[in-house]
Amino acid sequence: MWGTLADLCGVGLLPLVLISGCLSAQAPSKHPTRIPYDLSAPTKVFELSSELTEICALTDIDSITVACVQDEQATVHFISLRTGAITASVPFDGPADMEGLTRVGDALYALLSDGLIYHLTGLGKELTLRDTFRLDVPNTEIEGLGYDESTARILISPKDLIKGPNEAKDARLLYAIDPTDPTHKVETVLTLSMDALATQAAQQKIELPTRTTDDGRVRSALKLRYSSVAVHPMGDHFYLLSATDRTLLVVDRTGTLIDLVLLGPELLPKPEGITFLANGDLLLSSEGKGRTPVLVRYQYQPAR
């Protein structure tokens, strides 16, 4: 038994954090964001324990707690949103290449990069491993899990591309499974075209990352290799995080571009985790990458 979440987040924990304004949050994107957050002004910035140097996923638990995994051990770590401290760590397997984590009711689903999923139940009481299953997808590097409340499905965001012709290289896929389906059938819920996104970005005057070729030509450097996915609880948009190029892509359910934000390397050098709280607040986490890992909170700012 490891206690209730209220017990885990109680008084007496030593703070391991620096709060808001202690780290730079400037993002290189120059256009006004079309999402309800000021990503240059976080509400809080928590410096995390060194145990979470390779933090790679986030999921909300309640208004004062999030959970994560880190890329070495099959262990769920619970983090207080009051202090940033680890309030509990619950192992469910041994050394593993963990990548994703999402909550579905009182259950957690944790993801290995090769597509193996751990189903954990008893959240808030005694977290136990109920079963495991493997995703039937052509990808071999899968990094993100997120829960879609409106469709009651778990979203799966692969990092790698499917081998094939140029059309395959242009596509970015988002999958989903029904957690109540015992067959764990995988469906493609969204196929994004890199070319189409670039065209929409140009039309909306949204800045894309660029690179200069050897002959001096400027080309798009956008890669969009998903590291995590979440669904906004109010706006119903997909938020797709790419650590490879530090981008946050926001699209609607048809795949239409809402925004693409370049995240600042000073604060988020390797953003791997994203989740929302019930009140709409956004949380992003970044690996340490030679420094202290961080958890960053942004206040939801709905249009008036």
Residue 97: per-residue pLDDT = 93
pLDDT, one tens digit per residue, over 202-236 is 999 998 888 888 888 888 888 999 999 999 999 88
* Average pLDDT of span 143-155: 97
Q: Is pLDDT of 240 > 80?
A: yes
pLDDT, one tens digit per residue, over 176-186 is 999 999 999 99
Report which of residues 304 and 247 the model is more confident about: 247
Q: Is pLDDT of 14 > 60?
A: no
* Average pLDDT of span 163-184: 90
pLDDT, one tens digit per residue, over 243-270 is 999 999 999 999 999 999 999 999 999 9
Q: Provide, rounded to the nearest whole percent, the portion of the chain with pLDDT above 90.
A: 76
CATH architecture of 5-9+20-298: 6 Propeller (2.120)
* Average pLDDT of span 141-163: 95
Q: Give the mean pLDDT of the chain.
A: 88
* Average pLDDT of span 51-75: 96
Distances (CA, A) of 189 to 84, 174, 184: 34, 6, 15
Report which of residues 14 and 144 the model is more confident about: 144
* Domain boundaries along the sequence of the chain: 5-9+20-298
